[in-house]
Amino acid sequence: MEFIDYYTVLEIGKSASEADIKKAFRKLARKYHPDVNPNDNTAKLKFQQINEANEVLSDPEKRKKYDKYGKDWKHADQFDQQQAQYSNRGGQQQRSSAGGTDWGNADFGGSDFSDFFSSMFGSQTGGGRRQASYKGQDLTAELKLELKDVYTTHKQTLTVNGKTIRITIPAGVENGQTIKLGGYGNPGANGGPNGDLLITFSISNNTPFNRDGSNLYLTKDIDLYTALLGGEITTDTFNGKVKLTVKPETQPGTRVKLKGKGFPVYKKEGESGDLFITYNVVLPTNLDEK
């Protein structure tokens, strides 16, 4: 059997921290997991090697032994014995070579680990391997809505991976915004938590209003005489109509603000932005001599 470079397997350097090892393992385990690569024996073997490398490098004691002996792993037991003999003041041999574990020929049957691992570290406590658990794969979904749909908090039902999910959509959700539903993704492995469901909103606007965050903008036509002399007009807001007083000599492009008449602020119940109305003065046509 050949020496296995666990650092190469996990694509990390020998100075990698525990966090580096954990990150590398999760990344590669997801990539080569049998569920992601069905009927792919190469991926299955790679997945086993990744698990084995993580088993060693994530365990401080195993990693210390592995780093200490490296390619000389076959002689690890002999080295340990010699060190014990040297440090024994009475010169007594704590464990003879004949009575020690034969690392090169140990038989641990039934393990999914390589012969190299079994020879260097022996069988696992309780007779089985410890498999690392990790979070399931996240799922993504797109939910198409209209602007009027997200003006109020409401519930929506959607189907993801054959499962029907009923969610509450807070008023004020933005186009392109993504929300996360924890635990609604794919199942985790070896007891790990489920992945998450990431829902991205695609919001179309079929209204005369332009939206910028929680503020709304509207252009309102007024006739020349109202602009010159002033008067009262009726205009739309997103949830109804209001009356406005136009001041005399109002210039084209004049903007007025209706406080609190904009769009609801996301996850701030009772708060809304403002509505800005820009006056467009319409000149009269088809004038007669009078």
- Mark 222-237 as b/e (b = at least 16 C-beta within 10 Å): beeebbeeebebebeb
Dist CA 276 CA 148 (whole Å): 18
Where helices occur in 41-156 by DSSP H, the ranges are 41-57, 60-69, 76-87, 115-121
- What is the rounded CA–CA span in Å between residue 99 and residue 124? 21
Q: For the chain, 290 residues long, give each residue's pLDDT as a single digit of tens.
A: 567 888 999 999 989 999 999 999 999 988 888 888 878 888 888 888 898 889 889 988 888 888 877 655 555 555 455 555 545 544 443 333 333 333 233 232 334 666 666 655 654 444 444 556 677 888 888 999 999 999 999 999 888 878 888 999 999 999 999 999 988 888 887 778 888 999 999 999 999 999 999 999 999 999 999 999 999 999 999 999 999 999 999 999 999 999 999 999 999 988 999 999 999 999 888 878 87
Q: How far apart are CA 23 and CA 16, in angstroms?
A: 10
CA angle 133, 52, 40 (to 5 degrees): 85
Own/partner long-range contacts of 184-189 (Cβ < 8 Å, ≥24 apart): 184/139, 184/160, 185/136, 185/137, 185/138, 185/139, 186/35, 186/136, 186/137, 186/138, 186/139, 186/161, 187/136, 188/133, 188/134, 188/135, 188/136, 189/29, 189/33, 189/35, 189/131, 189/133, 189/134, 189/136
Question: For residue 164, which amino acid is it?
Answer: T
What is the predicted pLDDT for the residue at 113? 64
User: What pLDDT, on the 0 to 100 scale, is given for residue 236?
Assistant: 94
- End-to-end alpha carbon distance in the chain: 108
Contact 190, 200 (CB under 8 A): no
Q: What is the dihedral of CA 261, 265, 269, 271, to 10 degrees?
A: -40
Residue 36, judged by CB atoms within 10 A of its CB (0-12, 13-18, 19+), counts as: middle
- What pLDDT, on the 0 to 100 scale, is given for residue 65? 81
Report the pLDDT value the prediction gives residue 71, as an integer from 0 to 100. Answer: 59
118: phi then psi, degrees, rounded to nearest 5: -60, -40
How many CA atoms lie less than 13 Å away from 3 in the CB half-sphere?
13
pLDDT for 168:
92
Beta bridge partners of 223: 282
